[in-house]
Amino acid sequence: MTVVLVHGNPETDAIWRPLVAELGRDDVVCLSPPGFGAPLPAGFDATVTGYRDWLVGELTAIGEPVHLIGHDWGGGHVMNVAMSRPDLLLSWTTDVIGIYEPDYVWHDLAQMWLKPGAGEKLVEMMFGASLAERAERCVGLGMPQDIAEAVAAGQNDEMGRALLVLYRSAPQPVLAALGEHLPAAAIRPGLCLLATEDHFGGSDETRRRGAARAGARVEVLEGLGHWWMLQDPARGAKAVGEFLASV
């Protein structure tokens, strides 16, 4: 029973290292979306549907249903698969279910990325900085030094281009329209991780509402923020492990 982990923006699969170690499994695969720690092929469709189709292709190649776990935009890709191709899954886990609610509003950084011109300037500032400066910014966001350095090494022009296309393909009401299909995800067991100090994916109420529509279990990670898998990997692994064992 393969466990597949998908990370988000502006990250690489380095964020999963502590959680994988705590899970103690030998069947874990980390997939990096193109542009986010993996090469961005020429002509790749870096839109919300393009990444869904990329993930469908990766899961199809595995050849058997998997336990699919996503963080940040990776959690969005997970839900887009769960809503459209549940046959590829044994279960799904996300920490951003709230983005599919009609009243969800993108966070401040995303609002900047959505704006032509301003978004490009912000990306240039973020990814045009030195490796040391990028790593320092990641540490400031809450990543341990070693993970911050590994993530910063993957932050480049390709990531900047990919994130702008991705966010601009998914403003409201696009996300809300996708969220109309949340009940289809209930075909497979789902887990919504609710880190109480993570406000990028909406309010607690918004996330609980989305989980209910998707027929998913909610696991509260009290006091943890956006990078819950780095802040307390043991607690994250316990929540995920218990869910997988119940499926």
DSSP secondary structure letters along 189-245: -EEEEEETT--TT--HHHHHHHHHHTT-EEEEETT--TTHHHH-HHHHHHHHHHHHH
Alpha helices in 117-186 (DSSP H): 118-127, 131-141, 145-153, 157-168, 174-179
The CATH number assigned to the domain holding 83 equals 3.40.50.1820
**Does residue 196 register a pLDDT over 90?**
yes
For residue 145, tell me if it sits in a domain. Answer: no
Average pLDDT over the chain reads: 97
User: Does residue 72 surpass a pLDDT of 90?
Assistant: yes
Would you say residue 169 lies in a domain? no
Q: How confident is the model at residue 109 (pLDDT cuts 50, 70, 90)?
A: very high
Please indicate, yes or no, if residue 242 is contained in any of the structural domains: yes
At 94 the pLDDT is 98
- Residue at 112 is within a domain: no
**In the prediction, which pLDDT does 124 show?**
97
Domain presence at residue 198: yes
Asked if residues 227 and 141 have their Cβ atoms less than 8 Å apart, the reply is yes
* pLDDT value of position 172: 93
Counting Cβ atoms within 10 Å, is residue 26 exposed (0-12), middle (13-18) or buried (19+)?
exposed
For 29, list phi and psi in degrees, rounded to 5.
-120, 130
Segment 84-112 shows an average pLDDT of 97
Using the predicted structure, report yes or no on whether residue 1 has a pLDDT greater than 90. no
Mean pLDDT of 59-83: 98
Which is it for strands 3-6 and 66-70: parallel, antiparallel or unpaired?
parallel
Strands 28-31 and 66-70 turn out to be unpaired
What pLDDT, on a 0 to 100 scale, did the predictor assign at position 209?
98
pLDDT for 142-186, tens place per residue?
Answer: 999 999 999 999 999 999 999 999 999 999 999 999 999 999 999
Average pLDDT value for residue range 3-32: 98
Query: Is there a domain that residue 143 lies in?
Result: no
- Count how many domains the chain has: 1
The range of the structural domain enclosing residue 20 comes to 3-104+174-246
**Three-state DSSP class for residue 156:** coil
- Count of all residues that appear for the chain in the document: 247
Q: Judge whether 64 lies within some domain.
A: yes
State how far the Cα of 229 lies from the Cα of 71, in Å rounded to an integer: 9
Residue 25 lies in a domain: yes
What pLDDT does residue 241 have? 98
Q: Give the mean model confidence (pLDDT) for residues 212-232.
A: 98
Phi, psi of 117 (to 5 degrees): 90, -65
- Percentage of the residues of the chain whose pLDDT score is greater than 70: 100
Q: Which two three-digit tokens encode residue 204?
A: 């607690």
C-alpha neighbours within 13 Å on the C-beta side of residue 73: 32
